[in-house]
């Protein structure tokens, strides 16, 4: 089973920020794909809810030094 989530990300100020978040999220077990858009300040993630929860995605973004909130 795969779920999709859109996050609003605050705190990205350069393209490397977006790459850091993509790489960080992709490292998590249960994350299938990640696309971070610097211009729109959004991240789209597909994940397996049996393996990882939404709060874990947010915690990872915050651990990297950014703020994340769920859009949908």
Binding region for ligand 9UX (CB under 6 A): 13-14, 16-17, 20
Q: With respect to ligand 9UX, which residue has the nearer C-beta, 16 or 53?
A: 16
Beginning with the edge strand found earlier in the chain, give each strand of the sheet holding 31-37 in spatial order: 31-37, 42-47, 3-10, 67-70
Least distance from C-beta 59 to ligand 9UX, angstroms?
A: 17
Least distance from C-beta 56 to ligand 9UX, angstroms?
A: 20
Q: With respect to ligand 9UX, which residue has the nearer C-beta, 5 or 17?
A: 17
C-alpha angle 42/43/48, rounded to 5°? Answer: 150
CB neighbours of residue 33 within 10 Å: 13
């Amino acid at each position: 089973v795969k779920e999709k989530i859109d996050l609003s990300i605050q705190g990205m100020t350069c393209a490397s920020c977006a790459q850091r978040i993509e790489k960080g999220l992709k490292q998590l077990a249960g994350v299938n794909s990640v696309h971070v858009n610097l211009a729109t300040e959004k991240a789209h993630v597909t994940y397996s809810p049996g393996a990882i929860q939404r709060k874990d995605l947010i915690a990872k973004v915050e651990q990297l030094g950014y703020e994340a909130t769920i859009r949908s």
